[in-house]
């Protein structure tokens, strides 16, 4: 069985957060703790923080351990790089409501961390004539939640955003609060705040298996320790089934290797793509593309194809550039945002998508294993990372959450019906 590899480091708080070498538990030690979080990327980091905050706010002094198989902030999964899209615009009223809660939780983290996290840039969803994704799903869902928006035609779009070249018949949804959720910065904020609240974050620790007695008794077994607990949260993304299958549980998932591309340009052209001049954007068709204004110190404009990569596994994925995908994206940009392309070779970063067949989240207790929860973002979850953390923590601490998580249960057709046909376009 594959195992999460061991390297003993602990992230601690004590005046100033720092890394210290540690042997962790002794080889045969058994510890009893209140909660264990497995996977400390975006969602798991959020869960670790919110477990501590909610418990402390309720007057509890709980022992919380977070386990990460790689180093904190690693680039092997789906939570690295510097930017993700955050938006109210979604295809169902339920997601729009959850997006509002996502903004709320990120703002709470920013306030405690004392730094700006979400950057509101304004954003456009571009629906070409005959697109496979209907604009009506988005407008009706926004209206149901009283979220303001505008619908622009092609002329209005190119007048407001002259960087774009779009054909007549295109409809464009503009929403002013669309923006950037900072991936690495946001995850690091959750790590720091969790550690400051006393959470033990152990990086480089292999989880060999999870043991369950089926009535709420759980054990997380690593090379150097067994953690006995009544609460385990798995946020392991592409590695999720490695932990579930020994318990007789399997989620139908497809893992794909994706890439984002940074297109450098001249200083004169880059000014066209600054925040305030250029929006976050999504091309709502198949294939689907998306991109950002210049953010941070990258000096380049970021764009990508959504679900454009090849199937892989979390253990065997490649970090090499997919030249075919790069050519498709570059050709699309050449027609639609031509000033993005310069003479300098673009830089490519890779990541993983872990997709459910309906592309909805998983946020539920594992059937037959009380106390064991899974949080999985289905390749659009980072904008919801802090919301995921709060919802998972509320369920662990209080037994329920304020949020509607019914659509993300295990007992839905996309997980239980073998004949369910995958659809990733929403």
SS3 of the chain: the string is CCCCCCCCEEEECCCCCEEEECCCCCCCEEEECCEEEECCCHHHHHHHHHHHHHHHHCCCCCCEEEEECCCCCCCCCCCCCCCEEECCCCCCHHHHHHHHHHHHHHHHHHHHHCCCCCEECCEEEEECCCCCCCHHHHHHHHHHCCCCCEEECHHHHHHHCCCCCCCCCCEEEEECCCEEECHHHHHHHHHHHHHHCCCEEEECCCEEEEEECCCCCEEEEECCEEEEECCEEECCHHHHHHHHHHHCCCCCEEEEEEEEEEEECCHHHHHHHEECCECEEEECCCCEEEECCECCCCCEEEEEEECCCEECCCCCCCCCCCHHHHHHHHHHHHHHCHHHCCCCCCEEEEEEEEEECCCCCEEEECCCCCCEEEEECCCCCHHHHHHHHHHHHHHHHHCCCCCCCHHHCCCCHHHHCCCCCCCCCC
**CA 130 centroid distance within chain:** 29
What's the CA dihedral at 409, 412, 416, 418 to 10 degrees?
Answer: -140
Q: Say what the pLDDT of residue 2 is.
A: 37
Does residue 5 have a pLDDT over 60?
Answer: no
pLDDT band at 297 (very low <50, low <70, confident <90, very high): confident
Q: Say what the pLDDT of residue 342 is.
A: 84
Does residue 24 have a pLDDT over 60?
Answer: no
pLDDT band at 27 (very low <50, low <70, confident <90, very high): low
Does residue 202 have a pLDDT over 60?
Answer: yes
Q: Say what the pLDDT of residue 10 is.
A: 43
Answer whether 177's CB lies under 8 Å from 120's CB: yes
Strand order in the sheet with 218-222: 29-32, 225-229, 218-222, 207-212
pTM of the model: 0.93
Q: Which superfamily does CATH assign the domain made up of 122-178+254-356 to?
A: D-Amino Acid Oxidase, subunit A, domain 2 (3.30.9.10)
pLDDT band at 19 (very low <50, low <70, confident <90, very high): very low
Residues 136-144 have a mean pLDDT of 98
Q: Say what the pLDDT of residue 401 is.
A: 98
Residue 288: which of 57, 131, 410 has the closest Cα? 131
pLDDT band at 26 (very low <50, low <70, confident <90, very high): low
Tell me how far apart the alpha carbons of residues 309 and 291 are, in angstroms, rounded to a whole number.
Answer: 17
Q: What percent of the chain has pLDDT over 90?
A: 88
Tell me how far apart the alpha carbons of residues 118 and 123 are, in angstroms, rounded to a whole number.
Answer: 13
pLDDT band at 28 (very low <50, low <70, confident <90, very high): low
Sequence-distant (≥ 6) Cβ neighbours of residue 274 within 8 angstroms: 293, 294
Does residue 165 have a pLDDT over 60?
Answer: yes
Which one is predicted more confidently, 154 or 22?
154
Tell me how far apart the alpha carbons of residues 304 and 394 are, in angstroms, rounded to a whole number.
Answer: 34
Q: Say what the pLDDT of residue 296 is.
A: 83
Tell me how far apart the alpha carbons of residues 42 and 312 are, in angstroms, rounded to a whole number.
Answer: 21
Q: Which residues of 384-421 are buried (b: 16+ CB within 10 A; e: fewer)?
A: bbbbbbbbbbbbbbeeebebebeebbbebebbeeeeee
Does residue 6 have a pLDDT over 50?
Answer: no
CATH 3.40.50.720 fits 9-78+184-251+360-416, yes or no: no
pLDDT band at 417 (very low <50, low <70, confident <90, very high): very high
Residues 186-209 have a mean pLDDT of 98
Tell me how far apart the alpha carbons of residues 43 and 387 are, in angstroms, rounded to a whole number.
Answer: 9
Which one is predicted more confidently, 20 or 209?
209
> What residue spans define the domains of the chain?
9-78+184-251+360-416, 122-178+254-356
Q: What percent of the chain has pLDDT over 70?
A: 93
Q: Please state, rounded to an integer, the average pLDDT across all residues of the chain.
A: 93
Residues 374-403 have a mean pLDDT of 98
pLDDT tens digits for range 60-114: 999 999 999 999 999 999 988 989 999 999 999 999 999 999 999 999 999 999 9
Residue 130: which of 284, 289, 304, 280 has the closest Cα? 284
**CA 320 centroid distance within chain:** 22
Residues 165-183 have a mean pLDDT of 97
Q: Say what the pLDDT of residue 269 is.
A: 76
pLDDT tens digits for range 351-374: 999 999 999 999 999 999 999 999
Phi then psi for residue 220, to 5 deg, are -110, 120
Cα(first)–Cα(last) distance of the chain, in Å? 35
Give the range among 16-20, 30-34, 136-140, 386-390 with minimum mean pLDDT: 16-20
pLDDT band at 16 (very low <50, low <70, confident <90, very high): very low
pLDDT tens digits for range 300-325: 999 999 999 999 999 999 999 999 99
| CA triple 231-237-239, angle to 5 deg | 90
Does residue 21 have a pLDDT over 70?
Answer: no
Answer whether 38's CB lies under 8 Å from 235's CB: yes
**CA 324 centroid distance within chain:** 25
Tell me how far apart the alpha carbons of residues 302 and 354 are, in angstroms, rounded to a whole number.
Answer: 21
């Amino acid at each position: 069985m594959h195992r999460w590899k061991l390297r003993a480091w602990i992230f601690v708080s004590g005046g100033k957060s720092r890394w210290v070498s540690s042997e962790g538990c002794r080889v045969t030690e058994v510890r009893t703790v209140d909660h264990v979080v497995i996977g400390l990327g975006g969602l798991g980091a959020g869960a670790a923080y919110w477990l501590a905050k909610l418990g402390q706010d309720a007057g509890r002094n709980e022992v919380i351990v977070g386990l990460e198989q790689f180093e904190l902030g690693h680039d092997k999964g789906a939570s690295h790089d510097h930017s993700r899209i955050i938006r109210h615009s979604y295809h169902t009223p339920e997601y729009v409501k959850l997006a509002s809660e996502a903004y709320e939780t990120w703002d709470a983290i920013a306030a405690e961390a004392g730094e700006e996290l979400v950057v509101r840039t304004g954003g456009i969803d571009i629906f070409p004539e005959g697109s496979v994704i209907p604009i009506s799903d988005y407008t009706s869902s926004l209206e149901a939640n009283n979220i303001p928006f505008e619908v622009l035609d092609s002329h209005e779009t190119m007048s407001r955003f002259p960087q774009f070249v779009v054909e007549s018949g295109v409809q464009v949804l503009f929403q002013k609060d669309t923006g950037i959720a900072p991936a690495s910065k946001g995850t690091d904020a959750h790590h720091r705040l969790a550690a400051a609240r006393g959470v033990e974050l152990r990086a480089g620790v292999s989880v060999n298996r999870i043991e369950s007695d089926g009535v709420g008794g759980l054990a997380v077994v690593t090379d150097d320790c067994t953690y006995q607990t009544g609460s385990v949260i798995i946020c392991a993304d592409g590695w999720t089934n490695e932990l579930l299958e020994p318990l007789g549980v399997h989620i139908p998932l497809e893992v794909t290797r994706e890439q984002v591309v940074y297109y450098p340009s001249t200083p004169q052209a880059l000014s066209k793509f600054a925040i305030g001049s250029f929006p976050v954007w999504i091309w709502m068709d198949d294939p689907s593309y998306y991109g950002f204004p210049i953010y941070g110190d990258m000096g380049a404009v970021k764009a990508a194809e959504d679900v454009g990569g090849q199937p892989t596994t979390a253990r065997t994925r490649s970090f090499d550039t997919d030249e075919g995908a790069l050519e498709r994206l570059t050709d699309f940009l050449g027609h639609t945002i031509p000033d993005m392309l310069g003479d300098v070779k673009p830089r490519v970063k890779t990541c993983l998508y872990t997709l459910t067949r309906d592309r909805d989240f998983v946020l539920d207790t594992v059937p037959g294993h009380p106390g064991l929860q899974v949080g999985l973002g289905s390749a659009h979850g980072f904008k919801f990372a802090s919301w995921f953390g709060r919802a998972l923590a509320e369920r662990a601490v209080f037994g329920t959450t304020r949020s509607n998580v019914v659509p993300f249960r295990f007992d839905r057709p996309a997980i239980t019906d073998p004949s369910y046909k995958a659809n990733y376009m929403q």
